[in-house]
Amino acid sequence: MELCIDYQERAAFLKALAHPVRLQIVHSLLTMGCRNVGCIEKSTGMSQSCISQHLQRLRAAGAVIPVRSGNEVYYHASSGELARLVAALMGEEAESYVL
């Protein structure tokens, strides 16, 4: 049985992670859990508008999921697949990540 793999989707996913700030954002979400733009801004040192642009790209690729809580939007990593990929890149164990 042949598996149907969407290579375009996988490439877009990897392309979204192929920027240092986006990788840092995803790694932060996986290590610290769900966070809002303000928290991400403080941990990266980037401006809110810059973070928002990177989050938009990550959302479009399906790497992060936004969750609204009142006036705030919190982001978390989308999947165990993402956690395993980032763990492999960082030389860490995916089991220690927050999903």
Tens-binned pLDDT, residue by residue, of the chain (99 aa): 556 788 888 898 899 999 999 999 999 999 998 899 999 998 888 999 999 999 999 999 999 999 999 999 999 999 999 999 999 999 999 999 988
- The SS3 assignment for 52 reads helix
Buried b (16+ CB within 10 A) or exposed e, 40-76: bbebbebeeeebeebbebbeebebbeeeeeeeeebbe
pTM of the model: 0.89
- In order of start, what are the domains of the chain with their CATH numbers? 18-92 (1.10.10.10)
Q: Report which of 39, 50, 27 is spatially closest to residue 74, judged by C-alpha positions.
A: 39
